[in-house]
Amino acid sequence: MRALILGACVRLLLLAVLVNLSACSKALELEAAEPLAKAARSVLERMPGYSAGPYEAVLLEGIMLSGADDRADMDLRVWYPRRDDPAPVVIFSHGNWSDKDRYDAVIKHWASYGFVVIATTHLDGVNMARGIFNALRYGNDGLIGGRVADIRYLIDHLARVQALLPVSIDPERLAVSGHSFGAFSAQQFAGARAITEDGEIGAKDSRVDAVVALSPPGPMFDEITSQSWTEMQGPVLMTTGTHDVNPQFFPDWRLHKMSFDTAPAGEQYAVVVAGADHYLGNLICRPEREGPPQRDALNIVNAISTVFLLAHLNGDAVMAQWLASADVANMSGGFAELTKK
């Protein structure tokens, strides 16, 4: 037993060293990206979903969903709109080594348009040390499956979540969203699959009406492959940027768009923003990192994802028509592009 523990500790140390070395490796040469022009910004400011919505967004922290079925209690972070009628629900899944508390720049915006957004922290969350420890303890399959189990547990127990909230929710209008690793977790509920030696880890769920995937991964670990999205059904919206790269894992930003490119046609949408990186200038996921915030990119992601949610959760025909016909590339002077299939 002592040898096993020592071996695990050695692997943990080696993995931490490799991660730190990769973070210090030579940066990639990025494609040149012009900032959003002032004239284009004035056009975009008039697009639906761009400014804060009509509802007051309220934050609830420390909401504990008591465990059942041998599960531990779940600590929830909830943004909700101050409204009298039942609100549609978005469940949000964070990126690797991040947590539920670092995405307010996006999910507060959605709440201002009437959505209750529920986030929790997965096994790989909080920090690098915890993420690596649990990766060694449970393996990649365990982390992928654990995320799916967390999201499904919330879906299964929305009635119990309702009892903790001061606003009514409508479980019949439900989306799953996420960033990075969490974006893939969300896509699994639309039919994406992790492909393992023991089979597939999927989560397709007819209760989920739409998926928003912020900077989903391309092929990742051994389980997320180029075949992982071939059965993913829309409505799915994914976003990325031309500076969304990593020297070791995603040297080309187009790898993040693979989920759109390989999915079957039908209510699939992709947003690409010039110069946007994985964290929108550290406005999400890694707010502690240094670097200029990419607020124009954030505003575009917020706007189009809000229109998408209004169209597919609220059945808003005007928003659906905008999503189908808007020429975002022309509106933004080439700064952003919305592709549909």
pLDDT in tens, 38-60: 999 999 999 999 999 999 999 99
Across the range 170-192, mean pLDDT stands at: 98
Residues 185, 92: Cα–Cα separation, whole Å? 10
What was the pLDDT predicted at 27? 66
What was the pLDDT predicted at 50? 98
pLDDT digits (tens, 9 = 90+) for 125-162: 777 888 788 778 888 888 999 999 999 999 999 999 99
Backbone phi, psi, residue 102, to 5°: -110, 25
Average pLDDT across the chain, whole number:
90
What was the pLDDT predicted at 22? 37
The tokens describing 61, both together, are: 């922290």
What was the pLDDT predicted at 24? 39
pTM greater than 0.75 (yes/no): yes
What was the pLDDT predicted at 303? 98
Element (H, E) at 325: helix 317-325
Give the pLDDT band (50/70/90) at residue 205.
very high
The domains of the chain are located at 34-340
What residues contact 318, with CB distance under 8 A and at least 6 apart? 48
Beta bridge partners of 200: 195
Q: Is 324 exposed, middle or buried (0-12, 13-18, 19+ CB in 10 A)?
A: exposed
Residue 13: pLDDT above 60?
A: no
Side-chain half-sphere of 172: how many Cα atoms within 13 Å? 3
266 vs 32, residue with greater confidence: 266
Residue 232: pLDDT above 50?
A: yes
Whose CA is closest to 273, among 291, 290, 296, 252? 296
Q: Do 231 and 195 contact (CB within 8 A), yes or no?
A: no
Q: Do 113 and 81 contact (CB within 8 A), yes or no?
A: yes
103 vs 123, residue with greater confidence: 103
Across the range 110-119, mean pLDDT stands at: 98
Q: What is the largest CA-CA distance in the chain?
A: 66
Helices (H), 189-270: 258-262
Lowest mean pLDDT among 25-29, 60-64, 227-231, 235-239: 25-29
Lowest mean pLDDT among 6-15, 115-124, 233-242, 291-300: 6-15
What was the pLDDT predicted at 3? 36
CATH architecture designation of domain 34-340: 3-Layer(aba) Sandwich (3.40)
pLDDT digits (tens, 9 = 90+) for 15-35: 443 344 333 345 677 878 889
Residues 192, 73: Cα–Cα separation, whole Å? 27
Q: Do 85 and 180 contact (CB within 8 A), yes or no?
A: no
Backbone phi, psi, residue 95, to 5°: -80, 170
The radius of gyration computed from the CA coordinates of the chain, to the nearest angstrom, equals 19
What was the pLDDT predicted at 291? 83
Residues 219, 40: Cα–Cα separation, whole Å? 34
Q: Name the one residue in this structure whose structure tokens are 């592009």.
A: 337
Question: From the centroid of its chain, how far is CA 123?
Answer: 16
What was the pLDDT predicted at 255? 96
98 vs 261, residue with greater confidence: 261
Please state, for a pLDDT cut of 70, what percent of the chain lies above it. 92
Helical pair 128-156 and 2-23, crossing angle rounded to 10 deg: 100
Element (H, E) at 298: helix 295-313
- The DSSP secondary-structure symbol of 246 reads B
Residue 312: pLDDT above 60?
A: yes
The tokens describing 93, both together, are: 């899944």
Q: Do 124 and 140 contact (CB within 8 A), yes or no?
A: no
What was the pLDDT predicted at 287? 85
Q: Do 120 and 101 contact (CB within 8 A), yes or no?
A: no
Residues 233, 104: Cα–Cα separation, whole Å? 28
What was the pLDDT predicted at 243? 97
Whose CA is closest to 122, among 206, 196, 208, 186? 186
Q: Name the one residue in this structure whose structure tokens are 């299964």.
A: 156
Residue 103: pLDDT above 90?
A: yes
Please state, for a pLDDT cut of 90, what percent of the chain lies above it. 75
Side-chain half-sphere of 223: how many Cα atoms within 13 Å? 22
Helical pair 317-325 and 295-313, crossing angle rounded to 10 deg: 130
